[in-house]
Amino acid sequence: DAGVIQSPRHEVTEMGQEVTLRCKPISGHDYLFWYRQTMMRGLELLIYFNNNVPIDDSGMPEDRFSAKMPNASFSTLKIQPSEPRDSAVYFCASSELWTGENIQYFGAGTRLSVL
Amino acid sequence: RKEVEQDPGPFNVPEGATVAFNCTYSNSASQSFFWYRQDCRKEPKLLMSVYSSGNEDGRFTAQLNRASQYISLLIRDSKLSDSATYLCVVTGFLGDYKLSFGAGTTVTVRA
């Protein structure tokens, strides 16, 4: 399997622009997670889905952030409008729970810079 | 209080040395525990799960102390390639699939 695939790997945008991050989970995994990592706050969970349904979005910082999972093989995280404080590395991870353990596999991340 | 707290280090050790560090967690109902490894500018990757009885994976030994709510990781015979940030990870109660990550412990192994 190719693993979790994220795109783009790097994104530089100007304040106020819309940013869309994309994720393809590992085939067969039924959970998908979006994280944000910064030096100050570490790795924070933003939202997670089970079978394409959002389960917990309590980590989404504000209404400017939205996430969708239209099918089992694709998810997006959108920031509109973007602000400089959104600059961070955004990771997507997926897991399958039938093993009984919540082992998450991470994508390579999208490094976002908002100027 | 943070859910998961780690000594940030850095731990700077020579090759061949043993290094050990802990992490504490606040939720006594936590069910699963892991150590993830993150290399500079890379994604976190699972290093090992942590079981109640303690477990080893080669040069790595993980221990769980539920009474005191801490997890430990010990690395024996350190290699240069062990240089990384080690993230302590805890899940919540049964059925809660969120992972709580510690801020990480940085280990640097020098030649």
Confidence of residue B89 (pLDDT cuts 50, 70, 90): very high
* Nearest-CB residue to B97 (from A102, A107, A108): A102
Residue A1, pLDDT above cutoff 70:
no
Residue pair A34/A92 in contact by the 8 Å Cβ criterion: yes
* Bridge partners for A23 per DSSP: A6, A75
Phi first, then psi, for residue A42 (nearest 5°) are 70, -150
Please indicate if any CB of chain B lies within 8 Å of the CB of A43. Answer: yes
Tokens at A68, concatenated:
């969708």
Distance CA B74, CA B62 (A): 6
Number of CB atoms found within 10 A of residue A30's CB: 15
Distances (CA, A) of A51 to A30, A42, A107, B50: 5, 27, 19, 27
User: Which residues in chain A touch residue B97, judged by CB atoms under 8 angstroms apart?
Assistant: 31, 48, 50, 55, 95, 97, 102
What single-letter amino acid sits at B9? G
* Nearest-CB residue to A31 (from B97, B100, B102): B97
Q: Could you report the per-residue pLDDT of B8-24, keeping only the tens digit for each?
A: 889 999 999 999 999 99
Residue A12, pLDDT above cutoff 90:
yes
Q: Could you report the per-residue pLDDT of A38-49, keeping only the tens digit for each?
A: 998 889 999 999
